[in-house]
A and B are shown apart, each in its own frame.
Chain A
Amino acid sequence: GESVGLHLPTLSVQEGDNSIINCAYSNSASDYFIWYKQESGKGPQFIIDIRSNMDKRQGQRVTVLLNKTVKHLSLQIAATQPGDSAVYFCAENSNAGNMLTFGGGTRLMVKP
């Protein structure tokens, strides 16, 4: 079946640098995407979402970009901090209601 996946399993960045986490999706009919952050021992925490009628959305220090042409999603984190260290998942909202399909996750490691 169609699924959401990630290019890089681990990303290591220096504190203060910007981070970019990428995600590829295969269901061209998907129209809602979400980024979650999961710290060790905790459940996924909502970061930001974007609908398919947009190509960019900004939050506090985070920006999500959507390229529907190549079915690619990215999460940009500005001025990465040690507290940003976690596993980041992109998720796709299934057409059949509100069920989420998650990718495999990218581990972000922030070096001091």
Chain B
Amino acid sequence: DAGVTQSPTHLIKTRGQHVTLRCSPISGHKSVSWYQQVLGQGPQFIFQYYEKEERGRGNFPDRFSARQFPNYSSELNVNALLLGDSALYLCASSLSTGEGETQYFGPGTRLLVL
């Protein structure tokens, strides 16, 4: 079975540009979460979606937005990119948002902002 897939794998942007990252969850999973992982640190929670609705948001500016589609795939959008947005962006899927639901991560999209 296919795991969580993300696209693109790598991306280079310049400051001020915007970016859209995509995620397809494991088949049957209805919840998608996004995390930002800066080099040398643990992932930090950005968003969680379930059944197309936002269920949680981390401490990130409004430049970050996301949405979930009827097929449960998701997009993460970042506007007005800053150098500090350079990171590995991880998507994780789970069956639901219940506490204790195991989250399975994709390989990530590595974003470099120049």
Contacts and interface: CB of A to CB of B under 8 A. Distances in A.
Interface of A: 31-32, 34, 36, 41-46, 49, 51, 89, 91, 93-105
Given A42-B108, A93-B100, A101-B45, 12 more contacts: A42-B107, A43-B90, A89-B42, A89-B43, A91-B42, A93-B99, A98-B48, A102-B35, A102-B42, A102-B43, A102-B44, A104-B42
Q: What band does the interface of chain B fall in when counting residues whose beta carbon is under 8 Å from A?
A: 20 to 34
B55 interface: yes
B103 interface: yes
B107 A43 contact: yes
Contacts, number: 75
Given A43-B90, A43-B108, A98 B103 contact: yes
A99 B105 contact: no
